[in-house]
Structure 1
Amino acid sequence: MDDLTGFQRDLLYVIAGIEQPSGQEVKGEVERYYESEINHGRLYPNLDTLVNKELVEKGQLDRRTNYYAITDAGKDAIQDRQEWEHQYVNM
């Protein structure tokens, strides 16, 4: 996960927390956190990066809507990251 941007990590966390969200659902969650609009040109290339790195899988809900789901590799990456963070931030 060390090669992901902060934005990509945020996308991964959102996808891990929602069962098979659509791109629009991911966008809405991230926009609430960032308190600003996320445009498609930023969102979808970063989702594709997560898919290409096999941290997320992409499937079709219908002809126009894709869903995203965390993979085992994505879960492992999040766990590794949390363990790494925990050694520095133990509250």
Structure 2
Amino acid sequence: MEETLRQHLSECAAAFEAATGTKPSVVSRRALQDSRYLERVIGGEGFTVRTFDRLVQYLSDNWPSEADDTWPTGVPRPPKTPIAANVDAAAQPEVAA
């Protein structure tokens, strides 16, 4: 199971970088205040499920809405947190009726 989760992190980080140009070290720093976290975990170091969940939630909350279809297939995506969903909705341009 650990290797599966490690693979999920690797796929999500790569897809997020492709969609946003944000390097995994920046994602790690923003999500966990540890710029080397993804590098260490993908390299084989251990991790907790709690930290995995925090990082995947960060990615889901910050995934660009125009790239929703690029979330890695086979990786369960948590719903955006209410605050992130509200910020994302506020960023959408208003459509005249």
TM-score, normalising length from structure 2? 0.36
| Larger strand proportion of the pair | 1
Question: Normalising to structure 1: TM-score of the pair?
Answer: 0.37
Higher relative contact order (CA 8 A, sep 6+): 1
Which structure has the bigger radius of gyration? Answer: 2
Structure showing the higher helix proportion among its residues: 2
